Amino acid sequence: MNLSIVLSTQPAQFQAATFKGDLETNLRRIAALGYDGVELAIRDPKLVSLDELERLTRACGLSIPAIGTGQAWGEEGLSFTDPDPGVRRAAIERIKSHVPCAARFGAVIIIGLIRGIVKPGVDPVQAMDWLVEALRECSAAARPHGIRLALEPINRYETTLINNAAQGLELIERVGTDNFGLLLDTFHMNIEEPSIEASIRQCGARIFHFHVADSNRWYPGAGHLDFKSILNVLFAIGYHGYVSGEFLPKPDADTSARQAIANLRQI
Ligand code: LER
Ligand code: MN
**pLDDT (0 to 100) of residue 204:** 98
Interval 134-150: pLDDT, tens: 999 999 999 999 999 99
Q: Is the peptide bond between 251 and the residue preceding it cis, with omega within 30 degrees of 0?
A: yes
Interval 173-197: pLDDT, tens: 999 999 999 999 999 999 999 999 9
pLDDT (average), residues 227-251: 98
**pLDDT (0 to 100) of residue 13:** 74
Interval 195-230: pLDDT, tens: 999 999 999 999 999 999 999 999 999 999 999 999
Q: How confident is the model at residue 169 (pLDDT cuts 50, 70, 90)?
A: very high
Q: What is the 3-state secondary structure (H, E, C) of 198-257?
A: HHHHHHHHHEEEEEECCCCCCCCCCCCCCHHHHHHHHHHCCCCCCEEECCCCCCCHHHHH
Q: Is 70 in the pocket of ligand 1 (CB under 6 A)?
A: yes
Query: Quick check: 48 and 15 in contact, CB under 8 A?
Result: no
> Ligand 1 atom closest to Cα of 158?
8
How is the chain split into domains, by residue range? 3-266
User: What kind of architecture, by CATH, is found in domain 3-266?
Assistant: Alpha-Beta Barrel (3.20)
- Give me the active site residues, please: 152, 246
Rounded to the nearest angstrom, the distance between the alpha carbon of 67 and the centre of ligand 1 is 12
pTM: 0.97
Strand partners, 244: 4, 211
Q: How confident is the model at residue 17 (pLDDT cuts 50, 70, 90)?
A: confident
Helices and strands, counts by H and E, the chain? 11, 8
Handedness of CA 133, 134, 137, 139 (dihedral sign): negative
> Ligand 1 atom closest to Cα of 152?
2
**pLDDT (0 to 100) of residue 117:** 97
